[in-house]
A and B are shown apart, each in its own frame.
Chain A
Amino acid sequence: MIKFILMVNRQGQTRLSRYYTPVELSRRALLEADVVRCCLSRKKDQCSFVEYKDFKLVYRQYAALYIVVGVTDSENELSVYELVHNFVEVLDKYFSRVIMFNLDRVHIILDEMIQNGHIVETNKSRILAPLNALDKMADG
């Protein structure tokens, strides 16, 4: 299963984090810093899966943004790797500007895709359905 998902920039600042297994608040910052350091230090030709403590990190880089997913050993790495891309494509489809201003919406999207560390929905239009409904309400 998926343990957490992080979005960080190249400076190592966390832009979004979502945990699916309980991690104490005080330890999150430490964990995030360490995980980010682990991924940022890797080169392009290195593999996108990193063994980290007793689980694995799957990461993908989009320009200055890194998305890092912590998964248990039993998870299929490639499918998570593509899940990240699917997520980014959904974000692309919905947002035209910097997503940081719309963190709540990013969370809605993420919650539509992953719940509890498991994939629930991969169909882009269904992922965006609640948000679009929301926007219609606001317009109306």
Chain B
Amino acid sequence: MPAVSKGDGMRGLAVFISDIRNCKSKEAEIKRINKELANIRSKFKGDKALDGYSKKKYVCKLLFIFLLGHDIDFGHMEAVNLLSSNKYTEKQIGYLFISVLVNSNSDLIRLINNGIKNDLASRNPTFMNLALHCIANVGSREMAEAFASQIPNILVAGDTMDSVKQSAALCLLRLNRMSPDLVPMGEWTARVVHLLNDQHLGVVTAATSLITNLAQKSPDDFKTAVSLAVARLSRIVTSASIDLQDYTYYFVAAPWLSVKLLRLLQCYPPPEDAALRSRLTECLETILNKAQEPPKSKKVQHSNAKNAILFEAISLIILHDSEPTLLVRACNQLGQFLQHRETNLRYLALESMCTLASSEFSHEAVKTHIDTVINALKTERDVSVRQRAVDLLYAMCDRSNAKQIVAEMLSYLETADYSIREEIVLKVAILAEKYAVDYTWYVDTILNLIRIAGDYVSEEVWYRVIQIVINRDEVQGYAAKTVFEALQAPACHENLVKVGGYILGEFGNLIAGDSRSSPLVQFNLLHSKFHLCSVPTRALLLSAYIKFINLFPEVKTTIQDVLRSDSQLRNADVELQQRAVEYLRLSCIASTDILATVLEEMPPFPERESSILAKLKKKKGPGHLPDIDDARRNVNGSTEHSENAEAPKTGSNHPFTDLMSVNSPPPVANSLLVDVFSDISTPAPVDVCEENFSRFVCKNNGVIFENQLLQIGLKSEYRQNLGRMYVFFGNKTSTQFLSFSSSVASQDSLKAHILSATCVLSPQLNVHAKTVDPIIEGGAQVQQILNIECVSDFTDAPVLTIQFRYGGALQNITVKLPVMLNKFFQPTEMTSQDFFQRWKQLGAPQQEVQKIFKAKHPMDSEVTKAKILGFGVALLDGVDPNPANFVGAGVIHTKSTQVGCLLRLEPNTQAEMYRLTLRTSRDSVSQRLCDLLSDQF
């Protein structure tokens, strides 16, 4: 269909374009263009009125010139005139010029509006489409105000043509994004949702985009879209490819629409209705199955379209995070892609797997691909793919593979692209800190980092290593020895000199006993680097020297001589000069006692959020690193815990006192008094929401509560007998929540109406909640931190009581917090022999609890494994003679005591039954753990 041969091929335009194409140089092109611009200008200004065809031709030339990157400052008026033409081609060029060249704040808008108004009223579908495109593309406020009220009517009216509906849907989407106040929800919303049922797939495609956008803003108004979208999707994925005729693309049925529907479903949690839910699961299974079927075409377009749907389905599965079988299947599928010959697929698989790694159900499955990912890091030719591999390694890292992953990242760093080095440095630093069991490894890793990529080691990183060394006695000697050795290198990075200077200044005495690192040797070593360093490093070294004077009186005179030299005392830099003068005087006049007090070892740093993590987050931009947010890999939290676990403050009943915010809430008694006079003291009897409680037995993160107004998400982490829970309150509405309060109580005290308690001391469990901001803005999320201490074993979980005002009405919500005894498990690895020995030791009848129960979920051994690991015990392989059985061991840590625990789970797949046996040294613990775990299968 050669269009050029058709009647209206504009010859003048074709000649002009040919001329431009034949231009040999940029100068020639500009010359030709200027000539043409002058010509057009004179035509437009000329006395002779131009006919529609000429106007169109010249406007079209201007458009072309604009696309070549030249400014166009005239012709707008002529374009607007074209709008009123009755010829489609002229009208179309007019609209095209306007939507490409007119800004939303142009003063021509009023004239354009007039043209649009006529076209919308014309009932000619092609004209209406042009007008709707224009409203959407120009997006000016004035235009929106003029037409906003009409668009919804056009969209849902019964007699509107399909193509107009499509344009109207997208136009409405734009208006909603730009000026939502102009398109309030109304009766049209319900009818828009029903467009998902439209016969015409083009209309469905456009409507799905619109609904997805609207649903993100006000999910409640579009809830009904879920069932319609699932139904539609199900019809598409089960259809034979010929059913959808022209919407089939290389034997794949409506790929773009399927992707959009899956994206729409991602705005909502898994459907509550069981039938709907199973229908959705079926769809997702079908999509996963199709990936395994032999391809219907060898064309790459076929597999790409199929995989586009597959990746979107996997995103949905990951987001719902509720069907372990699907998650594991998704992981296997991605695993296959990791080795695919198409780079695009490997890239997407790495990216997708990164989010999969943060799901409790699939974390273990993701870890099995570690070798492939490491290989990708080494062999991929494309830096963006390698970057994804780094991200994935970071996401899949945990205590079991940290050493391997950190080592691989370090070796990759030596050859890594400059663009991603800093990020890798930050990641290595975070992983090394977080998973350091042994802090000598941490120190080695950081020093290696500085050696390999010193230029990319930011201040945050080396500050952090110093904070950690200072806070941990056991590693100080090692750190001093290691930096001393590292400094021997003839050329070492300035960052190493900084770390070395600081650490030797504080802890040089720990290695001074060895003659090879005597005080004088240490000093000479540091001072040999002095002259090569920048001013801030020199300043740091001067401080190290004065610390040396205190630590080692024998080098005092040597150091004083150095300080006294002209290059120090008369240094051109004021800071250095001042330090030299002051330190010298201090060393001369102060007595040893005073010197010792002034130059005492640095006190431990207060633990705070690792600045490295903050930096990485900032670097990646918000929302770009979902894996970091996962509490499983929450660096700061875990170190804070270990600090507390190892060094509880003496004289304080509460190990968390030091972490409390300064503006702590008023004492309990006070708030009770206040409560008497407020309506808070007479709450309606509230039901404690336990709905999601049991889902948290084997996992630590997720959504515990959700209604139309509020979503409560949890992230928690436990170490020994301490725990920390991050509670996220998300305001799902667009209005503020006022007088928001949230407090924790034990279930008993709840009955006694002590609602505003901020600190509850039940005998078995201490929970301390920080206060939250009393106002939550619409759409915003606030976080509350709960610190938890397990004193002795317990059964009842604490409850969280939330109150706030929404549009004048007081809302009360009470949620049972998933703090269970098994959270305080530490896994214990042991040999088969040890296991049976202990099993026998715990043979007393009251120590064993056994339960036989019917399986509630499909009996998948991978899922069971994941659940047992999530429960907190170590899975012991090869202990049970029957490989189908699961055996685990762990220790429950409470403040008063530790309770060892052994468990055995015997599945009987034929009868679909399980037998669970638990042996612990305490009967109450055995019983409680058995109740908790047996509920999970």
Contacts and interface: CB of A to CB of B under 8 A. Distances in A.
Given A78-B348, A82-B249, A116 B3 contact: no
Contacts of A82: 249, 255-256, 301, 304-305, 308
Contacts of B260: 119
Given A78-B308, A96-B1, A119 B347 contact: no
Contacts of A104: 60, 63, 89, 92-93, 96
Taking residues whose C-beta sits less than 8 angstroms from the other chain, chain A's interface range is 35 or more
A100 B14 CA distance: 9
Interface in A98-118: 100-105, 107-108, 111, 115-116, 118
Interface in B746-773: none
Given A13-B68, A81-B344, A103-B64, A134 B89 contact: yes
Interface in A11-68: 13-18, 20, 22, 25, 28-29, 32, 42-43, 45-51, 54
A77 B80 CA distance: 37
A139 B311 CA distance: 46
B88 A134 contact: yes
B344 A78 contact: yes
Interface string B234-261: 0000000000011101000011110110
A138 B60 contact: no
Listed residue (A20, A49, A122) with the most chain B CB atoms within 10 angstroms of its CB:
A122
Interface in B376-390: 381-382, 384-385, 387
B888 interface: no
A115 to B, nearest CB: 4
A119 B259 CA distance: 11
B209 A46 contact: no
B344 A125 contact: no
A89 to B, nearest CB: 9
Contacts of A94: 1, 3
A96 B5 CA distance: 10
A48 B173 CA distance: 29
Interface string A112-140: 00011011111111100111111101110
B171 A138 contact: no
A116 B171 contact: yes
Contacts of A135: 1, 3, 6
B133 A115 contact: yes
Contacts of A125: 246
A79 B308 contact: yes
Given A14-B67, A139-B7, A96 B166 contact: no
B205 A47 contact: no
B21 interface: yes
B69 interface: yes
B246 A126 contact: yes
B67 A77 contact: no
A96 B2 contact: yes
A130 B4 contact: no
B67 A17 contact: yes
Q: Is chain B's interface secondary structure helix, strand, loop, or mixed overall?
A: helix
Given A46-B382, A121-B202, A138-B8, A116 B304 contact: no
Contacts of B245: 123
B170 A139 contact: no
B174 interface: yes
B307 interface: yes
A96 B64 CA distance: 20
A46 B343 contact: yes
Contacts of B257: 122
Contacts of A97: 2, 4
B909 to A, nearest CB: 38
A100 B21 contact: yes
Given A102-B4, A120-B206, A121-B202, A107 B96 contact: yes
Contact of A14 (B68, B103, B167, B173): B68
Contacts of B100: 18
Interface residues of B, number: 78
Nearest to A7: B67
A123 B255 contact: no
Interface string B322-357: 000000000000000000000110111000000000
A103 B16 CA distance: 13
Contacts of A111: 133
A22 B71 contact: no
Interface string B95-108: 01000110110000
B317 interface: no
Nearest to A18: B100
Contact of A115 (B71, B89, B136, B624): B136
A120 B344 contact: no
A52 to B, nearest CB: 10
B382 A45 contact: yes
Nearest to A114: B170
Contact of B63 (A20, A103, A133): A103
Contacts of A130: 126, 129, 163
Contacts of B852: none
Contacts of B136: 115-116
Contacts of B205: 119-122
Listed residue (A76, A94, A108) with the most chain B CB atoms within 10 angstroms of its CB:
A76
Contacts of B4: 97, 101-102
A78 B307 contact: yes
Contacts of A17: 67
Nearest to B136: A116
A14 B71 CA distance: 15
B14 A101 contact: yes
Contacts of B256: 79, 82-83, 119, 122
B201 interface: yes
Contacts of A123: 201-202, 245-247
Contact of B104 (A22, A43, A93, A138): A22
A67 B201 CA distance: 26
A49 B347 contact: yes
Contacts of B171: 115-116
Nearest to B207: A120
B529 interface: no
B2 A47 contact: no
B170 A79 contact: no
Given A116-B170, A120-B202, A47 B64 contact: no
B344 A103 contact: no
A33 to B, nearest CB: 9
Contact of B67 (A16, A45, A47, A108): A16
Contacts of B103: 25
A103 B4 CA distance: 11
B170 A47 contact: no
Contacts of A77: 308, 311, 344, 348
Listed residue (A49, A129, A131) with the most chain B CB atoms within 10 angstroms of its CB:
A49
Interface in A68-86: 73-74, 76-79, 81-83, 85-86
A28 to B, nearest CB: 8
Contacts of A73: 624
Contacts of B872: none
B444 interface: no
B312 interface: yes
A81 B624 CA distance: 22
A48 B344 contact: yes
Interface string B158-183: 00000100110111011000000000
13 contacts: A29-B69, A47-B343, A47-B346, A77-B311, A79-B256, A82-B305, A82-B308, A115-B133, A119-B260, A120-B202, A122-B254, A124-B246, A134-B88
The 3 closest A-B pairs by CB, nearest first: A78-B308, A79-B308, A118-B209
Interface of A: 13-18, 20, 22, 25, 28-29, 32, 42-43, 45-51, 54, 73-74, 76-79, 81-83, 85-86, 93-97, 100-105, 107-108, 111, 115-116, 118-126, 129-135, 137-139
Given A78-B304, A122-B247, 17 more contacts: A47-B343, A49-B384, A82-B256, A102-B3, A105-B3, A111-B133, A116-B137, A118-B206, A119-B205, A119-B209, A120-B205, A121-B166, A123-B246, A124-B246, A134-B88, A138-B89, A139-B7
